Chains A and B, each alone.
Chain A
């Protein structure tokens, strides 16, 4: 017998945001008494998936497809012409990867092509942000709902004033969290940090995240060395959830120079942990941060450096950003986002009961 809801995803992996999101949707639907099944490209022993897409018949009442880059799962949906609920996490433009990782550029281009084909099969679009929702509407999908990514927000906000350095004169720790990738533009952040070091010679920059592609990391290190700030830039790599929380709590400001963010999970995590945010206004960044962070429209090194310098040197501003951030992050608490997701799916999955 076919289940009520099929959850289609290229692969279920540990520590992957889309996989966690899918698991939480599955948990939500099962709590509502619905039968679910996870459909993946290739089953692995440990991923908890139920079915390989090759055996998928597309006969569930509702099929929810997680779509970001090109995948075989999306191709099966297109081939079978199965109507789906399209949960869209955005696709980074291929131009960012063209010169760094051509194979990834091909994959994201394929994802874009598939998105155009999926638009005709989409019963409803679910987008992480208004920015993503607009992309779906531009493709001709009329029924689009905004429901953020589901994830359990890790936070341990220190009591007011305690998590802050008593004296940031000349110092301060600037944090970036996310993949080290060309579209995230960590090179702009290192450039801004080189200028910031003029104002704050004791400042540090910490980049947390795995490199993709690896040669981009190599270039970032070369840039830091060439600008003479390499000893103050920490490439922490991929860290555990516990260590990530510590980085949030030990840092003084989160900086984001990314040019393409469909949502921006680290921005929310930083706000939830009482870390002030300075971000470049691109894609969904401004709507994620709203009025809880410094959002600038120009990320040239001097502008970004001055924004960071301002936050690091103005205790009152830091406190204000911290208070607003903690409050603003409550919008993305799992209890709230689960409810949003349920509202987005309810009428589709409960029809006929």
Chain B
């Protein structure tokens, strides 16, 4: 390979950019708009410090009020009484603070003991052995499980026409399976570690919040929307919002596939921690039917997700 002159390449790029700015008004305008956008944002963000500047008044007052222990208050006779008074007041104030602290510590310890007792009961109920091993089912609510191979193949088989959107994308197993069917698909995932895992496999997993992504999509953009993973831990209000938004973003003949576990089947600890979060496949079906879909339950052989909801649109979407 002939040796490239990188300085020459840099100069070519800079010359090309100048040429485009001169010849393409749209590019020049875009650049101007971008710079203006940052100027607006930076100005409004840095103005937050106006509050801090005002707050300096308090800092200055605090600095003035603080006593420097290295500077003697005074040793003249008239000041001794003042020093004695200050010492006494400091002593009684310190005692007052100590008493307050002791009361607070007592209340805190009582509450901690209650928490410890309750946690002990929970651990006992969950079969926690206290040897550092984590029983099955722990942590599901914090970090949604990746779908099993049964769920992946089942959901991929149920995906209708493209383009397909998978919420949340996780590490990309479902995205990969749907993609292998030749359907255009991308997933959205908030956790950078999972996005990293998807990127590692060169899958189209995009970073960001699921709801903002859905709201930002074009109306009628998707042929299929798959809901799985973190939707298991959303409250009903968010789920209703999500169904309404998904309905808007689907094509006329679009389809929604929901792969979630039934909250009623959760382990005792998860059931308590996740009380009020997530809904069962049957409730999903009802919700989707209310939103104008023809919904049905498909049995799945996975031990956790035993039924998958498939909803086909029957009525045109209406803006909520």
Q: How far is the CA of A250 from the CA of B203 in the complex (A)?
A: 12
A226 at the A/B interface (Cβ < 8 Å)? yes
List of A residues within 8 angstroms of B4 by Cβ: 316-317, 320
Flag if B31 contacts A100 (CB, 8 Å).
no
Q: Main SS of chain A's interface residues? A: helix
List of A residues within 8 angstroms of B42 by Cβ: 99, 187, 219
A323 to B: closest C-beta gap in Å: 9
In the complex, what residue of chain B is closest to A194 when comparing beta carbons? B34
Q: Which of A237, A291, A298 contacts B6 (CB 8 A)?
A: A291
B13 at the A/B interface (Cβ < 8 Å)? yes
Q: How far is the CA of A99 from the CA of B42 in the complex (A)?
A: 9
Instruction: List residues of B (45-80) whose CB comes within 8 Å of A's CBs.
Output: 45-46, 48-49, 52-53
List of A residues within 8 angstroms of B1 by Cβ: 316, 319-320
In the complex, what residue of chain A is closest to B20 when comparing beta carbons? A302
- With A218-B45, A294-B13 known as contacts, the answer to whether A230 contacts B208 (CB < 8 A) is yes
Flag if A222 contacts B192 (CB, 8 Å).
no
Interface string of A294-336 (1 = CB under 8 A from B): 1111101111001100100000110111001000000000000
Q: Which of A191, A243, A321 contacts B34 (CB 8 A)?
A: A191
List of A residues within 8 angstroms of B46 by Cβ: 99-100, 215
In the complex, what residue of chain A is closest to B43 when comparing beta carbons? A99
A218, A231, A237, A246 pick with most chain B CB within 10 angstroms? A231
Interface string of B194-210 (1 = CB under 8 A from A): 01100110101011100
In the complex, what residue of chain A is closest to B5 when comparing beta carbons? A291
Flag if B202 contacts A293 (CB, 8 Å).
no
B57 to A: closest C-beta gap in Å: 14
B215 to A: closest C-beta gap in Å: 11
Instruction: List residues of A (238-265) whose CB comes within 8 Å of B's CBs.
Output: 239, 243, 246-247, 250
Q: How far is the CA of A34 from the CA of B34 in the complex (A)?
A: 56
A219 to B: closest C-beta gap in Å: 4
Q: Which of A239, A295, A324 contacts B10 (CB 8 A)?
A: A295
Flag if B9 contacts A310 (CB, 8 Å).
yes
- With A202-B204, A231-B208, A231-B216 known as contacts, the answer to whether A306 contacts B35 (CB < 8 A) is no
B188 at the A/B interface (Cβ < 8 Å)? yes
Flag if A219 contacts B37 (CB, 8 Å).
no
List of A residues within 8 angstroms of B7 by Cβ: 291
- With A100-B49, A294-B10 known as contacts, the answer to whether A234 contacts B195 (CB < 8 A) is yes
Flag if A306 contacts B200 (CB, 8 Å).
no
Q: How far is the CA of A235 from the CA of B195 in the complex (A)?
A: 11
Flag if A231 contacts B45 (CB, 8 Å).
no
Instruction: List residues of A (152-201) whose CB comes within 8 Å of B's CBs.
Output: 165, 173, 187, 191, 194-195, 198
A268 at the A/B interface (Cβ < 8 Å)? no
A223 at the A/B interface (Cβ < 8 Å)? yes
List of B residues within 8 angstroms of A139 by Cβ: none
Flag if B41 contacts A222 (CB, 8 Å).
yes
Flag if A227 contacts B9 (CB, 8 Å).
no
B238 at the A/B interface (Cβ < 8 Å)? no
Instruction: List residues of B (22-42) whose CB comes within 8 Å of A's CBs.
Output: 27, 30-31, 34-35, 37-38, 41-42
Please, how many residues of chain B have a CB less than 8 angstroms from a CB on the other chain? 43
Q: How far is the CA of A236 from the CA of B191 in the complex (A)?
A: 9
List of B residues within 8 angstroms of A237 by Cβ: 192
Flag if B213 contacts A215 (CB, 8 Å).
no
B150 at the A/B interface (Cβ < 8 Å)? no
A338 at the A/B interface (Cβ < 8 Å)? no
- With A236-B192, A246-B200 known as contacts, the answer to whether A226 contacts B49 (CB < 8 A) is no
Flag if B207 contacts A234 (CB, 8 Å).
yes
Q: How far is the CA of A302 from the CA of B52 in the complex (A)?
A: 36
A194 to B: closest C-beta gap in Å: 6
Q: How far is the CA of A345 from the CA of B247 in the complex (A)?
A: 70
Flag if A247 contacts B196 (CB, 8 Å).
yes
Q: How far is the CA of A285 from the CA of B202 in the complex (A)?
A: 31
Flag if A226 contacts B41 (CB, 8 Å).
yes
B3, B204, B208, B212 pick with most chain A CB within 10 angstroms? B208
Flag if A219 contacts B207 (CB, 8 Å).
no
B17 at the A/B interface (Cβ < 8 Å)? yes
List of B residues within 8 angstroms of A317 by Cβ: 4, 9
Q: How far is the CA of A295 from the CA of B10 in the complex (A)?
A: 6
B285 to A: closest C-beta gap in Å: 30
- With A102-B52, A231-B188, A236-B192 known as contacts, the answer to whether A302 contacts B21 (CB < 8 A) is yes
Q: Which of B14, B20, B188 contacts A298 (CB 8 A)?
A: B14
Flag if B17 contacts A246 (CB, 8 Å).
no
A232 at the A/B interface (Cβ < 8 Å)? yes
A67 at the A/B interface (Cβ < 8 Å)? no
B16 at the A/B interface (Cβ < 8 Å)? yes
Flag if A236 contacts B14 (CB, 8 Å).
no
Q: How far is the CA of A165 from the CA of B203 in the complex (A)?
A: 12
Q: Which of B13, B17, B37, B213 contacts A223 (CB 8 A)?
A: B37
Q: How far is the CA of A324 from the CA of B16 in the complex (A)?
A: 24
Extra A-B contacts (16), CB below 8 Å, given A195-B27, A246-B196, A294-B9: A99-B49, A165-B202, A204-B206, A223-B37, A226-B41, A235-B192, A236-B196, A237-B192, A250-B196, A295-B6, A301-B34, A302-B27, A306-B13, A310-B13, A317-B9, A321-B6
Sample 19 A-B pairs with CB under 8 A, ordered by A number.
Answer: A187-B42, A191-B35, A198-B30, A219-B45, A226-B37, A234-B195, A235-B207, A236-B192, A295-B6, A297-B14, A300-B31, A302-B30, A303-B17, A306-B20, A310-B9, A310-B13, A316-B1, A319-B1, A320-B4
Chain A residues within CB distance 8 Å of chain B: 99-100, 102, 165, 173, 187, 191, 194-195, 198, 202, 204, 215-216, 218-219, 222-223, 226-227, 230-237, 239, 243, 246-247, 250, 291, 293-298, 300-303, 306-307, 310, 316-317, 319-321, 324
Considering the complex of A and B, which 7 residue pairs feature the smallest CB-CB distances, nearest first? A99-B46, A303-B17, A234-B207, A219-B45, A236-B192, A231-B206, A231-B208
